[in-house]
Structure 1
């Protein structure tokens, strides 16, 4: 089964934005997120400007983000990546789910799991 053109466009948009964000360009969120962006993660604010202000101060803004896989289906894009910081080299596994409308992200959900010691995951985390 091949991706629909909408799914392919959304996937490319989110991957390009992720790449820019991972390189330190937080301002890319101003074009990616719709003004009335809805955030579903506990403690994270909704609304584009509130979310950007929050995320600019969050560890993810200074972390190394190693993208492992991306799945797109119509208006949803799912990203699985490894996030590490100098203080936490083992890091966390993150799954982000983004919903897009007309080329902008309108909603976000995530699941974050600390990466355990290698002995606890013989088949690897990623």
Structure 2
């Protein structure tokens, strides 16, 4: 896919997201498929009509959205944003395109924590995509990291994925570096918090940024884990994430899979 096509997809995805703030239906009408739109946010009904019907309500809520990062991987566009409704939140939105129109959407949303152990915010840091030629290698590397470390196939390899303690952390509960990660794991054990990744559903990457979408459990309750990694010189250099509980079946407004 050429650069112009990639930029066009990003513009369309951003316009659709920004329409949730403006209440203007034009972008949704133009860029979202009228019949084939699959919604994986289980708190929303399926289809384009449901999105259009929500615009007035979202505008009344005073929803604001500020997009920080955009990744393009084939027919997929991933956006990393700050939302503000009932307080600030961090979100990832993924749109899948067919023939220039959006036909599928996934997302994950988490309350924004302002004071973090690392003194970084949940969304600050680099935004410029580098190393386009390393996209495939970085996607493979990050997928292997999640499998080895987060899922637990070979946690003994943890230190090999990092350049010593040089690791910038945007998770709201973890300090920078491998030392911060180790301290967070100890704290979770002391508090009897069990976090388990069970399956990777998607890997979306562009250059030095790779987003993984995983399923797992926190204290036995199903959750969706969206992890964004920045790879530098063949090592994981930075990490952002959004974790959201998966709704129980009786609260879901569509029958599509969360993933």
TM-score exceeds 0.5: yes
Instruction: Please give the root-mean-square deviation of Cα atoms over the aligned residues, in Å.
Output: 2.6
Q: How does 1:32-111 map onto structure 2 within 5 Å?
A: 32-35=31-34, 36-58=36-58, 62-85=62-85, 87-88=86-87, 91-111=88-108
Q: How big is each residue's C-alpha offset from its partner over 1:24-44, in whole Å with a ceiling of 9 and x where there is no partner?
A: 423421112101210001121
Give the equivalent residue in structure 1 for 2:111: 114
Deviation of the 1:66 alpha carbon: 1.2
Give the unaligned 5+ runs of structure 2.
124-259
Unpaired segments of 5 or more residues in structure 1? none
CA 1:120–1:92 in 2, change beyond 3 Å: closer, same or farther? farther
Structure showing greater relative contact order (alpha-carbon pairs closer than 8 Å, 6 or more residues apart): 1
Paired residues of 2:21 and 2:59 also in contact (CA < 8 A): no
- 2 CA distance for matches of 1:121 and 1:55? 36
> Corresponding residue for 1:12?
11
Q: What displacement does 1:104 show?
A: 0.9
Find the structure with the greater CA-based Rg: 2
Contact 1:4 1:74 (8 Å CA) reproduced: no
8 A contact 1:76–1:98 mirrored in 2: yes
Aligned mates of 1:56, 1:13 — CA distance in 2: 21
Distance 1:61 1:32 in 2: 24
Secondary structure of residue in 2 paired with 1:45:
coil
Normalised TM-score (structure 1): 0.79
* 1:21, distance to aligned residue in structure 2 (A): 4.5
Pairing 1:28–2:27 present? yes
Provide the C-alpha distance between the structure 2 equivalents of 1:43 and 1:92, rounded to a whole number of angstroms: 16
Superposed CA deviations along residues 43-73 of structure 1, whole A, max 9, x for unmatched, are: 2111111232135424797312111111111
* TM-score, scaled relative to structure 2: 0.42
